[in-house]
């Protein structure tokens, strides 16, 4: 009897929490870490630093080399409700493939037995930070674009926006939005009912030099915003 009452009381509190602040509460309460030992907090309105160890990546060049080992802070939301996600990422990028930014994944598409995902952010290549986007339908394909702003401080603002069946990836540069990628498979037929949305950092390459092989990469995120259909 006591338990029944407790459950009813919890259910009522839960319903009340949704009716008072529908978005904040539903999005705030569902944050989780993958591949990271820390308590999960919502990045909304906060500055968050991910310290990623080396030998981490999100990358699938072949089905046998499927890699999703990077720290990822995400929230699970209804795919129907997703409109856009945006973040500003900054780091002292200095080693080949040092990276960080946004990741969205589609964990439960029925027509496939593999995870589909898009990552977009900064990636250090050819001795400089670039804007990098990887779309992984079956296998990963990667594109790079120069940083027109923020290269000196290693800072970039990236947005992923839903447009019908497509996902568009943009760099936000001041008041302008520059298109980096159109992904045509993201929200089309057979799409996942739930999607994961969040931030990640990865360090595929170890630092060189005696005693530095396990140095971490610190990527700081701010101005995270997640827009959902109300
Ligand atoms: C995770 O962090 C806790 C608290 O700092 C620590 O006690 C625990 O050993 C850590 N676990 C792993 C797998 O690193
Ligand atoms: C993931 O990729 C990193 C960087 O290439 C590598 O060091 C690591 O061994 C890979 N992990 C798995 C599980 O494939």
Q: Which of the 8 DSSP states describes residue 107? A: T
pLDDT at site 107: 87
pLDDT tens for 2-54 read: 444 444 434 444 444 443 344 444 444 589 999 999 999 999 999 999 999 99
**How many of the other CB atoms lie within 10 Å of CB of 163?**
12
**Rounded to an integer, what distance in angstroms lies between the CA atom of residue 105 and that of residue 142?**
16
> Could you tell me which of 221, 201, 199 has the C-alpha nearest to residue 90?
221
**How many of the other CB atoms lie within 10 Å of CB of 229?**
9
* Nearest CA owner, ligand 2 atom 12: 67
Q: Is the pTM of this model over 0.85?
A: yes
Which among 55, 61, 70 is the best mutation to test ligand 2's pocket, defined by most ligand atoms within 8 Å of the CB? Answer: 55
Which among 54, 61, 67, 213 is the best mutation to test ligand 2's pocket, defined by most ligand atoms within 8 Å of the CB? Answer: 67
What percent of the residues of the chain are helix, what percent strand, and what percent coil, each to the nearest 5? 15, 50, 40
Q: Which domains does the chain have, with CATH numbers?
A: 31-228 (2.60.120.200)
Dihedral pair phi/psi, residue 173, rounded to 5°? -125, 100
Residue 33 structure tokens: 């870490």
Residue 138 structure tokens: 């079956």
Contacts of 227 (CB under 8 A, 6+ apart): 83, 84, 85
Element (H, E) at 24: helix 22-28
* Nearest CA owner, ligand 2 atom 3: 55
From ligand 1's centre to the CA of 27, what distance in Å?
A: 26
User: What are the residue ranges in the chain where pLDDT is below 70?
Assistant: 1-29, 109-112
From ligand 2's centre to the CA of 55, what distance in Å?
A: 5
User: Could you tell me if 123 and 134 are in contact, meaning their C-beta atoms sit under 8 angstroms apart?
Assistant: no
């Amino acid at each position: 009897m006591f338990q029944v009452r407790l459950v009813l009381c919890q259910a009522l509190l839960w319903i009340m929490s949704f009716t008072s602040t529908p978005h904040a509460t539903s999005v705030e309460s569902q944050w989780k870490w993958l591949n990271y030992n820390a308590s999960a907090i919502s990045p909304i309105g906060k500055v968050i630093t991910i310290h990623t160890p080396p030998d981490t990546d999100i990358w699938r060049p072949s089905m046998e080399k499927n890699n999703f080992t990077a720290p990822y802070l995400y929230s699970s939301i209804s795919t129907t409700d997703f409109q856009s996600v945006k973040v500003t990422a900054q780091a002292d990028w200095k080693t080949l493939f040092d990276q960080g930014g946004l990741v969205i994944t589609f964990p439960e598409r029925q027509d496939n037995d593999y995870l589909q995902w898009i990552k977009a952010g900064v990636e250090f290549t050819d001795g400089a930070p670039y804007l990098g986007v990887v779309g992984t339908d079956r296998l990963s394909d990667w594109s790079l674009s120069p940083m027109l702003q923020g290269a000196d401080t290693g800072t970039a603002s990236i947005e992923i926006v839903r447009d019908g069946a497509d996902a568009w990836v943009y760099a936000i540069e001041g008041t302008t939005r520059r298109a980096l990628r159109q992904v045509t498979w993201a929200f089309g037929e057979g799409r996942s009912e739930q999607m994961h949305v969040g931030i990640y950092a990865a360090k595929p390459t170890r630092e060189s030099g005696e005693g530095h092989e396990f140095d971490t990469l610190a990527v700081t995120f701010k101005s995270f915003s997640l827009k959902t259909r109300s």
